[in-house]
Structure 1
Amino acid sequence: MYGQERLVLPLLARDEFGLTAYTGVLTFILAFGATKAIANYAAGTLSDRYGRKPVLVAGWLIALPVPLLLIWAPGWGWVIAANVLLGLNQGLTWSTTVVMKIDLVGPSRRGLAMGLNEAAGYLAVAATAMATGYLAARHGLRPEPFYLGIAFAALGLGLSTLAVRETRDHARLEAASHAGRADGRHAHLHAELNNREILAQTSYREPALSAASHAGMVNNLMDGLAWGLLPLLFAGAGLPVAQVGLLAALYPAVWGLGQLLTGALSDRTGRKPLIVGGQLLQGLALALVALGESFPVWAVAVVLLGAGTALVYPTLLATIGDVAHPAWRARAVGVYRLWRDGGFVVGALVAGLIADAYGLDAAVWAVATLTTASAVAVATRMYETHNRATSPGSPQ
């Protein structure tokens, strides 16, 4: 559902709706990010109260009109409305699948579980971006690329309703036998924290939780740039739609495949080195995008960008799972994803305003600088959250 938009909507904004200001083009990402961030937060609380599966099914029901709105949209306002629904869909469904896998896997293999979850999602994003690029080059920007979305929404709803089982009791069982770290660092993170306290701990009080939240926000600020502006940068340099589509697909493809390795790697090496190293690699890749002028250079840059994101993305989620108490872990994941997907909003505003004032290259350099600064902040503030000595299945 997300991948069908990564190439087509920026080009649709320019070619069919005549949007020339980059801030105008990025309004669909702002709408998506704002509603997804709010839905992420709601998903954590709702899944603790009503169970994971009802939230998952509700998210897929909301997805059903999205491709139809994009096909029929007579004006840009319809595209914004579709992305409000897409943000609700993504927030409810993806947050819930993250929580469900953390429920099931136990403390010693959270990185592996998050790598599998995020790899499944972003390999699908990459495949769909490539498929929609092919369809757009062959048939035009509408309606054929969005037929895929109709099938995805139906499949998501059918699988969630018929195949998925409830996992909330797994978290309750883990909470009953939960033991804190031997060094006592998490003693204040007990089971009885209320929603306001969970929000405070995850947002700014607890060093690892808050550092992960802010690093996640910068990551999606960067992804908003990659989604909304990089296709326009590549197309503006004269690349054909098929090559722009390939670049749009390479980034999430490397991101998705890489997570099959990096999530499990963080269970062995720890979380912090992968997060810091990944953000530094992202900053380097964005600098290469700004300096590049040809398809081969940009192909290398987006591959490096995907590799850096693969190091960061599942590892941040695993960090939240390491630190949060099982009794309120779903709500902590919701707060983290509130911050992380708020990065789409910040990215749409910051990158759009800079691009309008100073050009696309300046926007890329600005986000590269922010990403590098975030790596320094994580290196300074975050402690290592994964206890590598913990035996499989034992409480951490």
Structure 2
Amino acid sequence: MALRLRRTSAFLVAVTTMIAMLAGSAAPSPLYPVYRQLWGFSTFTLTVIFAVYVAALLAALLTAGSLSDQIGRRPVVGAGLVLLAAAMVLFIAAQGVGGLIAARILQGVATGLITGAVTAMIVDLQPHARAGALATGISPALGMAIGSLLSGALLQWAPWPRFLVFWILLAGDLLLALLVALMPPMPARRADHERIRFRTVLGSLRPSVGVVRAVRPAFLAQLPAVASTWALGGLYLALGSSIVAGLLGVTNHFYGAAVLAAFFASAALAAPVFRVLSESRRRPAGFGALGIGVLLTMVAALNHSLTLDIVGSVLAGLGFGLTWLTVMSVLAAATPAEHRGQTFAAVYVASYIAFSVPALVAGLAVNRLGMLPTVVGYACFDLLLVIAASVAAGLELRRRRRPIPAELSGETVDDLDEDPVDDLLIAAPMQPASCSSQS
């Protein structure tokens, strides 16, 4: 009799896979200043290294995001974990910028491949209602917080500081790949799935992005909020460690990583906070925390205050999470179920553009203007986006109060309390996936 994990154990493995995947995505960030000092590349080059990861992730997400619906969750997640392990090998072997770019590209492809499949796997295996929603809402940001802290701690105090974190992640990815192979089979969606599998797998790799006409006003109204959150997240991951070292004068790598962890950990806490807030308070709470947090981090940079920067990062992270979950819940409520996949794909295209392009511009600005003017300018830019998001939200709320088409009248934001879609990943790669079960 073949060895198989119990269902509850398999659920924990799936959640751990998501955490480990996002921990790996954040682990290089505390190392960026070390790489710059070692190999002498510019801040703009640093942001390019970050941007190629996002581009590779988005390409994989759009082409292979639904692959697990055709060939099963376990093969996709297992293959993605092996690719992640290979990316860790490239990080260990990197001897310059080219090696880092290659490692980041492979890591992005693997992350995009895994994200949709492991999210669906978590929901398939959840031991009780809402367990999957809670796990997918908290795990990504928690993983990035863990990855930042682990990398910073090892860089500061452990032997082989440039390599040890990647050896640990390499071992973890391979162990998780083995455990995924031992997961119990999940019931197929259709009796003829073996025939459908080979006939439709290539079709599933064709990108499908779009927003139906009835949803476009709501979609456009959310774009400023999407831009304000993800642009800030991109700055933290691409330049956060360099800002802490260059502007705040912090030479301890763990303290620098703590700033990143503060942002992502508070974003993880947004999921349970979102649940207890009424619909009318979610937006004001999110925009308020985001705006105040960005303002405090700007003041911290001007005054070289690590403490104030951590406080600002906590508030900004909480605002990020609340705002992002509100955006997704509003769009899920406004979109008929059969079109949600396309709508969410379009949201993620916009999100990852905001995640990478402003960070690239910031990297170029640092080379031309210096770190402090760039950080102040970026903060002002993000504050303007928060204001624009508030105005757009007010206008969109007025529109929603008008009579809506009969085909949409049965769905409201409150309906999402029974749907895991409102606990989508926070500040992390995510592709909404079918909740159907496949092995």
Q: Give the TM-score normalised by the residue count of structure 1.
A: 0.78
Q: 1:393 to 1:145 in 2, by over 3 A?
A: closer
After superposition, the C-alpha distances for 1:160-186 in whole angstroms (9 at most, x for unaligned) are 44448769959xxxxxxxxxxxxxxxx
Aligned to 1:2: 25
* Structure 1 residue 154 corresponds to structure 2 residue 174: yes
Query: Among 101, 119, 136, which residue is 1:117 paired with?
Result: 136
Matched residues, number: 363
Aligned to 1:335: 346
After superposition, the C-alpha distances for 1:129-172 in whole angstroms (9 at most, x for unaligned) are 112111111235421121222133224434544448769959xx
Aligned to 1:325: 336
User: Contact (CA 8 Å) 2:274, 2:325: kept in 1 or not?
Assistant: yes
* Structure 1 residue 209 corresponds to structure 2 residue 231: no
Q: 1:325 to 1:39 in 2, by over 3 A?
A: farther
Post-superposition offset of 1:84: 0.8
Aligned to 2:361: 350
Could you say which structure has the larger radius of gyration?
2
Query: Among 40, 55, 62, which residue is 1:18 paired with?
Result: 40
After superposition, the C-alpha distances for 1:260-310 in whole angstroms (9 at most, x for unaligned) are 423313575475445433442343244234323122222222222222223
User: Contact (CA 8 Å) 1:4, 1:149: kept in 2 or not?
Assistant: no
Mapped partners of 1:297, 1:3: distance in 2? 22
Post-superposition offset of 1:342: 2.1
State the one-letter code of the partner of 2:292: L
User: Contact (CA 8 Å) 2:85, 2:174: kept in 1 or not?
Assistant: yes
Post-superposition offset of 1:70: 0.7
Mapped partners of 1:213, 1:159: distance in 2? 39
Aligned to 2:287: 276
Q: 1:161 to 1:152 in 2, by over 3 A?
A: same
State the one-letter code of the partner of 1:17: W
Mapped partners of 1:391, 1:74: distance in 2? 48
With 323-332 and 121-130 compared, the bigger mean Cα shift is at 323-332
* Structure 1 residue 79 corresponds to structure 2 residue 100: yes
User: Contact (CA 8 Å) 2:84, 2:107: kept in 1 or not?
Assistant: yes
* Structure 1 residue 249 corresponds to structure 2 residue 261: yes
Post-superposition offset of 1:23: 0.3
Aligned to 2:324: 313
Mapped partners of 1:16, 1:157: distance in 2? 33
Aligned to 2:314: 303
With 208-217 and 82-91 compared, the bigger mean Cα shift is at 208-217
Q: 1:151 to 1:118 in 2, by over 3 A?
A: farther
Q: Secondary structure at the match of 1:239?
A: coil
Query: Among 375, 389, 392, which residue is 2:386 paired with?
Result: 375
User: Contact (CA 8 Å) 2:145, 2:265: kept in 1 or not?
Assistant: yes
Query: Among 149, 152, 157, which residue is 1:130 paired with?
Result: 149
With 140-149 and 154-163 compared, the bigger mean Cα shift is at 154-163
With 318-327 and 34-43 compared, the bigger mean Cα shift is at 318-327
Query: Among 390, 412, 423, which residue is 1:387 paired with?
Result: 412
After superposition, the C-alpha distances for 1:43-84 in whole angstroms (9 at most, x for unaligned) are 445455556555444432321211111111112111101111
After superposition, the C-alpha distances for 1:225-283 in whole angstroms (9 at most, x for unaligned) are 11222211221243122321222322222222x22423313575475445433442343
Mapped partners of 2:85, 2:46: distance in 1? 24
Q: Map 1:254-265; keep pairs closer than 5 Å.
A: 254-256=266-268, 258-265=269-276
Mapped partners of 2:334, 2:218: distance in 1? 8
With 35-44 and 45-54 compared, the bigger mean Cα shift is at 45-54
Mapped partners of 1:300, 1:65: distance in 2? 37
Aligned to 1:143: 163
Post-superposition offset of 1:30: 1.0
User: Contact (CA 8 Å) 2:54, 2:108: kept in 1 or not?
Assistant: yes
User: Contact (CA 8 Å) 1:129, 1:248: kept in 2 or not?
Assistant: yes
Aligned to 2:434: none
After superposition, the C-alpha distances for 1:196-224 in whole angstroms (9 at most, x for unaligned) are 9852449x961223443553344222122
Aligned to 2:235: 225
State the one-letter code of the partner of 1:265: V
Percent of aligned positions that are identical? 22
Mapped partners of 2:109, 2:375: distance in 1? 28
Mapped partners of 1:247, 1:164: distance in 2? 40
User: Contact (CA 8 Å) 2:290, 2:316: kept in 1 or not?
Assistant: no
Q: 1:208 to 1:365 in 2, by over 3 A?
A: farther
User: Contact (CA 8 Å) 1:43, 1:96: kept in 2 or not?
Assistant: no
Mapped partners of 1:227, 1:146: distance in 2? 17
Q: 1:283 to 1:13 in 2, by over 3 A?
A: same
Q: Secondary structure at the match of 1:327?
A: helix
Post-superposition offset of 1:362: 2.2
User: Contact (CA 8 Å) 1:289, 1:364: kept in 2 or not?
Assistant: no
With 77-86 and 373-382 compared, the bigger mean Cα shift is at 373-382
Aligned to 1:33: 54
State the one-letter code of the partner of 2:389: V
Q: Give the TM-score normalised by the residue count of structure 2.
A: 0.71
